[in-house]
Amino acid sequence: MEIKVFVADNSHLSYAEAICKEIEESAKESKLGLAKRTPEYIYGKILSGKAVIALTSDGEFAGFSYIETWGGKSFVANSGLIVARKFRGLGLAKRIKEQTFILSRKLFPDAKIFSLTTGAAVMKMNYEFGFRPVPYNELTDDPEFWKGCEGCRNFDILTRNEYRLCLCTGLLYDPKEHFEIHHPGE
């Protein structure tokens, strides 16, 4: 089965509910810190050209990720990486992450890219792209970013620690630390 990974456009709006459902179900199953999103939020990412989607050759939803800018576009978050359960174990998350990273670098070449995750597989992928672990104070201080964590099961931990630490690891890619874009597998 062929699965294509590419930047989503308005023809993919119909997948928003499936994306939200997959995020919610995965958060429950895995006990990981995945923030819930609404279909309207996903629509916005798709319509603004800031989303990557994976579809089978017959149009079945297989995965998704999006980017968001913070701090006057000096930071870009790679967020919402999800692979539908049926398609896990095929290396699809890495392909989605790669396209999300490329999209981030294309749209915002000078921005620092960051990711928050509790998942070992996502941490490993981020390391391969040149991300490094950082304390939260090296991430954006934009209060709107941290509002996005409100839908996470671990939000109380973040607030108890005054937004300085949580269960997620903060990972940062600073383009000034790299001479060229790193593409894993090349």
Give the tens place of pLDDT for each residue, 104-147.
999 999 999 998 887 788 889 999 999 999 988 888 888 888 88
Quick one: how far is CA 124 from the chain centroid?
A: 14
- In order of their start, the domains of the chain are 3-177 (3.40.630.30)
Q: How far apart are CA 19 and CA 84, in angstroms?
A: 8
pLDDT of 28 above 60: yes
- In this structure, the dihedral spanned by the alpha carbons of residues 53, 55, 61 and 62, taken in order and rounded to 10 degrees, is -80
The rounded distance, in Å, linking the Cα atoms of 143 and 163 is 10
**Would the pLDDT of 36 be above 80?**
no
The phi, psi pair for 47, rounded to 5°, reads -65, -25
pTM value? Answer: 0.84
